[in-house]
């Protein structure tokens, strides 16, 4: 059986994600099992996921994905390089994944792979000179392919380059393929039959949930509305302003340095902004500059709040299953023979593992995420040890 990995956030799952699954099977074969490595309750832009990880995973397996594995938290709150490395390492740790499919704006795998061959040490040099990560990557890529810099203006191309670079760096026997993005652009607010997740999030936060219906598979939309009706969504950083500020204001610039990822002065800028402003969005706006992109600031604040130092390894110590679709059990049987790290399907599996800082951290992080949900009924702790994966046998392969 061919098993293809997809790296995603599904925040929330929409028609473009279903299209990606369908086109992936169109390239590899209709019987291909698709495994998504998905960000958990916190996402790469440095924010709370709008719906919790188990409900987002359930949306995915109701709409074409066969198995959803959680991306390690340190990878989810990393730049494109760390995000990609953690995701590829997770797929490699399964021991049975044959392909990795990613969306891209250009659709040109050969060009993306050439760009991925750039000198990674050159990226470090450009970062040391004060460039942002995106600018440093662009400078390094242009030394390999002078025309490839244009690829970096599109975020999915950038991630595609990093996925291919991670495959090469880790020596994985995983074949990358790309599906050209079709629909609204990344972060576009344009309504479209295949909208961006950003557009859907804005509609949800504005209370216009029904407007999301045409942009999502029907069962994914049902999961979304049920979460909202129950008070479990939308989770939002604004609900946690006081909780986050009460913790962040305890930190000195030296404390903040553990979470910012470089001695470039960001820790001092954050220290001042945390004291001068009274909401997380205002702190981010005050600290943001060309040198300090908004996503990096958001991630640094969340890392500090969650006590997740910047140098924490992005590679998995275990694989947590969030949802199981039609072929998911078969993939799990394969993983039982090939997985290189423990596989956690139910809380009882986790309790059998040696007690580690990673396990304790992940439980605490889920409790902190709960505080961002609208209803206080979901603010109680301990959900980490009560939740089992959603399971469905129903196949839904619609585009």
137 CB contacts (<8 Å, ≥6 apart)?
80, 81, 118, 123, 152, 158, 161
Residue 398 has a pLDDT of: 44
Beta bridge pairs of residue 344: 320
Model confidence pLDDT, tens digit, residues 172-216: 999 999 999 876 555 555 666 788 899 999 999 999 999 999 999
Model confidence pLDDT, tens digit, residues 138-176: 888 887 777 766 677 677 888 999 999 999 999 999 999
Closest by CA to 7, choosing from 62, 89, 96, is 89
Q: What is the pTM of this model?
A: 0.92
Model confidence pLDDT, tens digit, residues 282-299: 999 999 998 899 999 999
Residue 342 has a pLDDT of: 95
Residue 350 has a pLDDT of: 86
d(CA 35, CA 25): 12
- The whole-angstrom distance between residue 345's C-alpha and the CA centroid of its chain comes to 20
d(CA 131, CA 264): 10
User: Do residues 66 and 150 touch, judged by C-beta distance below 8 A?
Assistant: no
Residue 151 has a pLDDT of: 72
Closest by CA to 86, choosing from 76, 95, 94, is 76
User: Do residues 259 and 309 touch, judged by C-beta distance below 8 A?
Assistant: yes
Residue 146 has a pLDDT of: 74
In this predicted structure, the answer to whether residue 34 has a pLDDT above a threshold of 60 is: yes
- Angle (CA) 189 323 335, round 5°: 125
Residue 158 has a pLDDT of: 86
CB atoms within 10 A of CB 236: 17
HEC per residue, the chain: CCEEEEEECCCCCCHHHHHHHHHHHHHHCCCCEEEEEECCCEECCCEECCCCHHHHHHHHHCCCCCEEEECCHHHHCCCHHHHHHHHHHHHHHHCCCCEEEEEECCCCHHHHHHHHCCCHHHHHHHHHCCCCHHHHHHHHHHHHCCCHHHHHHCHHHHHHHHHHHHHHHHCCCCEEEEEECCCCCCCCCCCCCCCCHHHHHHHHHCCCHHHHHHHCCHHHHHHHHHHHHHCCCCCCHHHHHHHHHHHHCCCCHHHHHHHHCCCCCHHHHHHHHHHHCCCHHHHHHHHCCCCCCHHHHHHHHHHHHCCCCCCCCCCCCCEEEEEECCCHHHHHHHHHHHCCCCEECCHHHHHCCCCCHHHHHHHHHHHHHHCCCCCHHHCCCCHHHCCCCEECCCCCCCC
Half-sphere exposure in the Cβ direction for 201 (13 Å, CA):
18
- Angle (CA) 111 112 115, round 5°: 90
pLDDT: which is higher, 112 or 49 = 49
């Amino acid at each position: 059986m061919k098993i293809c990995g997809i790296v995603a956030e599904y925040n929330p799952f929409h028609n473009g994600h279903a299209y990606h699954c369908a086109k992936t099977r169109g390239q590899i074969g209709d019987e291909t099992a698709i495994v998504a490595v998905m960000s958990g309750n916190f996402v790469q832009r440095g924010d709370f996921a709008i719906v919790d990880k188990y409900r987002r995973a359930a949306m995915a397996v109701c709409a074409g994905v066969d198995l959803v594995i959680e991306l390690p938290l340190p990878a989810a709150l990393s730049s494109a390089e760390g995000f990609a490395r953690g995701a590829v390492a997770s797929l490699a740790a399964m021991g049975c994944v044959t392909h990795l499919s990613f969306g891209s704006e250009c659709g040109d795998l050969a060009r993306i792979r050439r760009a991925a061959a750039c000198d990674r040490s050159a990226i470090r040099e450009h970062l040391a000179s004060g460039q942002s990560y995106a600018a440093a990557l662009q400078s390094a890529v242009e030394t390999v392919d002078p025309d490839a810099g244009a690829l970096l203006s599109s975020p999915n191309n950038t991630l595609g380059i990093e996925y291919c670079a991670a495959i090469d760096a880790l020596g994985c026997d995983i074949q990358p393929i790309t599906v050209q993005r079709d629909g609204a652009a990344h972060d576009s607010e344009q309504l479209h039959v295949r909208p961006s997740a950003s557009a859907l999030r804005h509609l949800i936060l504005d209370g216009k949930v029904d407007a999301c219906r045409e942009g999502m598979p029907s069962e994914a939309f049902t999961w979304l509305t049920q979460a909202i009706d129950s008070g479990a969504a939308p989770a939002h950083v604004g609900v946690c302003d006081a909780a986050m500020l009460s913790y962040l204001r305890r930190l000195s610039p030296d404390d903040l340095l553990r979470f910012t990822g470089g001695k470039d002065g960001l820790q001092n800028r954050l220290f001042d902004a945390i004291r001068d402003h009274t909401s997380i969005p205002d702190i981010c706006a005050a600290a943001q500059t060309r040198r300090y992109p908004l996503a990096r600031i958001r991630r640094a604040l969340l890392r500090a709040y969650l006590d997740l130092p910047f140098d924490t390894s992005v590679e998995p110590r275990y694989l947590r299953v969030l949802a199981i679709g039609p072929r998911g059990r078969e993939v799990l049987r394969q993983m039982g023979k090939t997985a290189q790290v423990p596989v956690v399907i139910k809380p009882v599996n986790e309790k059998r593992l040696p007690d580690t800082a990673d396990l304790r951290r992940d439980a605490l992080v889920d409790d902190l995420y709960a505080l961002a949900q609208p209803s206080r009924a979901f603010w109680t702790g301990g959900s980490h040890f009560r939740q089992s994966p959603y399971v469905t046998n129903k196949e839904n392969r619609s585009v």
